[in-house]
């Protein structure tokens, strides 16, 4: 007989007791704050699908670095919106583009801030895909089809990572899902004296509907087709372990699972397999759903936000990329 001997409620009697036995903690340093720097705006431009998020001019970089420091955040993750786009994403290699400029300004303002850059060409290509396209003959059909050329894309990614490292990024974070890119980027960094620049690999990235709002924020919706030819099938969990292992073997310093909420089991699985620091990306759709539900009076936003972030840490993530970073830091008293 377990009752009345066992009464789990005993440990829930007071807030102090509950705090004493709490298994999962949250702190501002667990959060990476995603920011969008645009070469095309002079003032912050609100993103309609992401209440509270704006595209920022580079001149706002220093103030955001100070804000991140003041709140004690783990760091920032930078995305770029260039002035011009072409088929190869050439503007992503411009050392004077919005990301390299923002990196430099943030490191000038707050040298100790951890600055991470997203490495992917989709914000810089006119077709919106995460790589260089090539025509492929499709057997059994009349015509050709466009596909992303994996190996050609690796060269552009390596160059972009170098541009970010030269600007002063502490960490480069490839999000493209090309095979072999971690190894290629490592080789490029090491070959240019950046052996201390880390790689945070979006190792396990699913082809998710929850990226919808981001594609407005970063202006990178694919102009045709979808990303299922390179991002993972949401039905697959074993494949996540394979992707994580490959990136670890290629030299990734940290791994990421993305999105977070529909993939908590995957976070748990990767945590069990790897000893590397593990990140999870609480993506745009996950953020905007809470905003929309709160605006409709359906949930308590602050409590729902903290519950979501706690669940991601409980699943096994060390750190979380989240648009809630500042609001959550405020709740935590920072
Ligand atoms: C690609 C990239 C995407 C996100 C981060 N990096 C979009 C995509 O793969 O379509 C999504 C982030 C979010 O939804 O918050 N560079």
DSSP per residue, 257-276: EESSGGGHHHHHHHHHH--S
- In whole angstroms, what is the distance from residue 38 CA to residue 139 CA? 41
Beta partners for 172? 117, 199
Task: Pick from 55, 85, 119, 120 the residue to mutate for probing ligand 1's pocket: most ligand atoms within 8 Å of its CB.
Answer: 120
- In whole angstroms, what is the distance from residue 26 CA to residue 331 CA? 11
The residue whose C-alpha atom lies closest to atom 2 belonging to ligand 1 is 175
- Please state, as a whole number, how many other Cβ atoms lie within 10 Å of the Cβ of residue 307: 12
- In whole angstroms, what is the distance from residue 113 CA to residue 50 CA? 25
First to last CA, the chain: 46
Our answer to whether residue 107 is catalytic in this structure is no
| Average pLDDT value over all residues in the chain | 96
- In whole angstroms, what is the distance from residue 65 CA to residue 173 CA? 19
Q: How confident is the model at residue 138 (pLDDT cuts 50, 70, 90)?
A: low
Instruction: Please give the residue that has the higher pLDDT: either 219 or 315.
Output: 315
Closest ligand 1 atom, CA of 287?
Answer: 15
- From the candidates 85, 107, 258, 291, which is the catalytic residue? 258
Beta partners for 136? 145
CA 12 to mean position of chain CA atoms: 36
Tell me, using a 6 A CB cutoff, whether residue 124 lines ligand 1.
Answer: no
Q: Where are the beta strands (DSSP E) in the chain?
A: 31-38, 45-46, 54-56, 75-81, 115-119, 133-137, 144-148, 171-174, 198-205, 254-258, 278-282, 319-322
The answer, yes or no, to whether residue 135 has pLDDT greater than 90, is: no
Choose among 59, 53, 21: nearest CA to 39: 59
Q: In the chain, what percentage of residues exceed pLDDT 70?
A: 99
- Domains, the chain: 25-331 (3.20.20.70)
- From the candidates 66, 205, 223, 291, which is the catalytic residue? 205
- In whole angstroms, what is the distance from residue 118 CA to residue 221 CA? 16
The residue whose C-alpha atom lies closest to atom 16 belonging to ligand 1 is 120
Closest ligand 1 atom, CA of 205?
Answer: 9
The residue whose C-alpha atom lies closest to atom 8 belonging to ligand 1 is 211
Mean pLDDT value of segment 288-300: 98
For 196, the token pair is 């201390």
Which pLDDT value is given to residue 61?
98
The answer, yes or no, to whether residue 143 has pLDDT greater than 90, is: no
For 329, the token pair is 């830091």
- In whole angstroms, what is the distance from residue 210 CA to residue 193 CA? 37
Tell me, using a 6 A CB cutoff, whether residue 122 lines ligand 1.
Answer: yes
Q: What's the CA-to-centroid distance between 130 and ligand 1, angstroms? A: 10
Choose among 195, 128, 120: nearest CA to 156: 120
**Contact at 8 Å (CB) between 49 and 213?**
yes
Residue 125: DSSP 8-state? B
Q: How confident is the model at residue 227 (pLDDT cuts 50, 70, 90)?
A: very high
According to DSSP, the β-strands at 115-119 and 133-137 are: unpaired
- Please state, as a whole number, how many other Cβ atoms lie within 10 Å of the Cβ of residue 291: 19
Residue 238: DSSP 8-state? H
Count Cα atoms within 13 angstroms, Cβ side, for 253.
14
Our answer to whether residue 59 is catalytic in this structure is no
Helix (H) and strand (E) counts in the chain: 11, 12
Task: Pick from 81, 218, 223, 234 the residue to mutate for probing ligand 1's pocket: most ligand atoms within 8 Å of its CB.
Answer: 218
67-124 pLDDT tens trace: 999 999 999 999 999 999 999 999 999 999 999 999 999 999 999 999 999 999 999 9
């Amino acid at each position: 007989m377990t009752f009345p001997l066992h009464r789990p409620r005993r440990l829930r009697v007071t807030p102090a007791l509950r705090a004493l036995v709490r298994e999962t903690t949250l702190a501002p340093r667990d959060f990476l704050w995603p920011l969008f720097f645009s070469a095309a705006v002079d003032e912050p431009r609100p993103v309609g699908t992401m209440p509270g998020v704006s595209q920022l001019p580079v001149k706002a970089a220093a103030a955001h670095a100070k804000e991140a420091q003041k709140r004690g955040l783990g760091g920032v993750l930078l995305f770029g919106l260039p002035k011009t786009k072409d088929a190869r994403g050439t503007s992503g290699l411009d050392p004077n583009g919005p990301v390299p400029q923002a990196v430099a300004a943030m490191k000038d303002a707050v040298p100790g801030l951890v600055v991470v850059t997203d490495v992917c060409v989709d914000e810089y290509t006119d077709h919106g895909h995460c790589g260089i396209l090539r025509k492929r003959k499709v057997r059994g059909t009349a015509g050709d089809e466009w596909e992303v050329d994996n190996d050609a894309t690796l060269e552009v990614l390596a160059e972009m990572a170098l541009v970010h490292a030269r600007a002063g990024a502490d960490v480069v974070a490839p999000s493209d899902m090309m095979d072999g890119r971690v190894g290629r980027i490592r080789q490029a960094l090491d070959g240019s004296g950046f052996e201390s620049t880390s790689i945070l690999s979006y190792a396990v990235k699913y082809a998710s509907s929850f990226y919808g709002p981001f594609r407005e924020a970063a202006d990178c919706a694919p102009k045709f087709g979808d990303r299922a030819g390179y991002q993972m099938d949401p039905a697959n969990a074993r494949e996540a372990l394979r992707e994580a292992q490959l990136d670890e073997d290629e030299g990734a310093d940290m791994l990421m699972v993305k999105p977070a909420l529909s993939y908590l089991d995957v976070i748990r699985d990767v945590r069990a397999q790897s000893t590397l620091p593990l990140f999870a990306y609480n993506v745009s759709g996950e953020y905007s759903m809470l905003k929309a539900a709160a605006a409709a009076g359906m949930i308590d936003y602050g409590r729902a936000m903290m519950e979501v972030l706690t669940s991601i840490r409980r699943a096994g993530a060390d750190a979380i990329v989240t648009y809630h970073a500042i609001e959550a830091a405020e709740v935590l008293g920072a």
